[in-house]
């Protein structure tokens, strides 16, 4: 049920937390060695389902991309399920880091409620669990959940 903490969502959060401390490395997806935000999601997918569902095209780490090509959002929509429920653990968030820019940052909600948090990877920080205050929530462009 969307919005509810399920065994699957608890498993996703547990797996994502296992990636905390992994250094940031653009296009990588190897726990403990390096990953970017998409690499974190790919790694969680592999631990839950096995093989990744698609080969990725090349992509740039540019949060200021104004091309209008929402490749990441379209790719997520092909493999994940839309989830318009309120924040809940295990939910995948896609962020638009600048107004009118392409949405290019991902995170996984790790806690909801009064003090929500999410797990994500970004340059100079690696994989971290961060608070999800209102300024971050305003940047959410789409919400997804892993298939059952």
| Residue 2 domain flag | no
Number of folded domains that form the chain: 1
| Residue 1 domain flag | no
Separation CA 87–CA 4 (nearest Å): 10
DSSP assigned state of 101: S
Percentages helix, strand, coil for the chain (3-state, rounded to 5) are 25, 25, 50
Residue whose C-alpha is closest to residue 119's, from 111, 105, 108, 131: 108
What integer best gives the mean pLDDT of the chain? Answer: 93
| Residue 87 domain flag | yes
Structure tokens at 39: 């690499």
Residue whose C-alpha is closest to residue 104's, from 82, 121, 91: 121
Residue 93: give its domain's CATH number: 3.90.1720.10
| Residue 79 domain flag | yes
Looking at residue 6, its pLDDT comes to: 67
**2 CB-near residues (< 8 Å, 6+ apart):** 83, 84, 85, 88, 145
Check pLDDT > 80 for residue 3: no
pLDDT digits (tens, 9 = 90+) for 88-116: 999 999 999 999 999 999 999 999 999 99
Task: Indicate the pLDDT class of residue 58, thresholds 50, 70 and 90.
Answer: confident
Residue 94: which domain range? 7-145
């Amino acid at each position: 049920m969307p919005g509810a903490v399920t065994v699957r969502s608890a498993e996703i959060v547990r797996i994502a937390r296992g990636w905390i401390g992994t250094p940031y490395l653009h296009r990588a997806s190897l726990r403990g060695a390096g990953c970017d935000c998409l690499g974190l999601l790919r790694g969680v997918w592999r631990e839950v389902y096995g093989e990744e569902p698609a080969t990725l095209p090349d992509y740039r780490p540019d949060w200021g991309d104004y091309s209008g090509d929402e490749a990441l959002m379209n790719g997520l929509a092909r493999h994940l399920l839309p989830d318009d429920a309120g924040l809940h653990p295990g939910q995948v968030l896609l962020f638009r880091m600048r107004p009118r820019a392409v949405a290019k940052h991902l995170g996984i909600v790790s806690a909801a409620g009064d003090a929500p948090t999410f797990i994500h990877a970004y340059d100079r920080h690696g994989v971290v669990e961060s608070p999800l205050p209102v300024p971050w929530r305003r940047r959410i462009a789409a919400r997804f959940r892993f298939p059952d």
